[in-house]
Amino acid sequence: MNPTSYKVVNDLVSELLADIQEVLGKRLIGLYLYGSATAGDFDMDISDIDLLAAVASDITETEFSKLEEMHNNFAQKHPRWRDRIEVAYLSLHGLQTFKTERSQIVVISPGEPLNVHDAGYDWLINWYVIQENGITIFGPNPTSLIPKISKDEYIEWVKKQTALWTERAKGYAEQSPRASVAYAVLTMCRAMYAVNYGGQVSKNRAVSWAKKEFPQWAALLDLAIAWRKRQWEEKQESVGSELQQVIEFLDFAIDYVLNK
């Protein structure tokens, strides 16, 4: 199985599929890869592997315990990929009704252990990305499981999510970690790209586009990329004197997205 051009990613995804099938058996309906691994812009040092596991019905307590053990074992076997694997386990009903209902979703994601949440319309961007360029690892085409999401719906939701950053940005201080600030800057680049083209691209591609479109911010965007690349060894490094420029960029980006 070679779903991507990255052998390491292919091997890891193949192993994860076998592990998940061992736990869920025929209750696993489909497994879908999305994110930078499918866009040809995967960074072996920092990118995450993002997967959706479509399940016949909600994950049971017994299945949760087995999945938790499986993911812990996987992380021990592949320490380089600890905190870089995201798998969302959602029922067919949850996928089919996410626009109108909230359903149980079991997720393991960077920085968080396997846990139970509820998911609804707030996962629209993830499902849109799968709809547009996700790769089927196992099961039917995802468009048969997820209701059609229009480009207008996607852009409208990007705008709503961007509006939330107005308050988040106020919480940053000179002591804020560089990695956290870099995430905000790169997220806004993706949002600006999204409202222009109706698509989700990798952080690197969004930044490359933004540097050409808004050259006045190129130096800051290069800095944010550098902070992101060094995030694992610089978790405690603070943004310091660059904070004011970051805040100005976030204000600019938010205004751009909301008024596009």
Three-state SS string over the chain comes to CCCCCCHHHHHHHHHHHHHHHHHHHHHEEEEEEECHHHHCCCCCCCCCEEEEEEECCCCCHHHHHHHHHHHHHHHHHCHHHCCCEEEEEEEHHHHHCCCCCCEEEEEEECCEEEEEEEECHHHHHHHHHHHHHCEEEECCCHHHCCCCCCHHHHHHHHHHHHHHHHHHHHCCCCCCEHHHHHHHHHHHHHHHHHHHHCCCCCHHHHHHHHHHHCHHHHHHHHHHHHHHHCCCCCCCCECHHHHHHHHHHHHHHHHHHHCC
Question: Quick one: pLDDT at residue 233?
Answer: 53
Q: What separation in angstroms does the CA of 112 have from each of 69, 109, 117, 154, 214? A: 14, 5, 12, 26, 35
Question: Quick one: pLDDT at residue 237?
Answer: 83
Contact 135, 4 (CB under 8 A): yes
pLDDT of 68 strictly over 60: yes
Min mean pLDDT across 53-67, 117-131, 133-147, 226-240 is at 226-240
Contact 235, 217 (CB under 8 A): no
pLDDT tens-place string over residues 162-221: 999 999 999 999 999 898 899 999 999 999 999 999 999 999 999 999 999 999 999 999
pLDDT of 85 strictly over 90: yes
Average pLDDT in the chain: 94
pLDDT tens-place string over residues 4-52: 999 999 999 999 999 999 999 999 999 999 998 998 789 898 899 999 9
Stronger pLDDT, 88 or 227, i.e. the higher one: 88
Average the pLDDT over 74-87 and give the result.
Answer: 96
Residue written as tokens 């596009």? 260
Question: Quick one: pLDDT at residue 235?
Answer: 53
Q: What letter represents residue 118's amino acid? A: D
Question: Quick one: pLDDT at residue 230?
Answer: 73
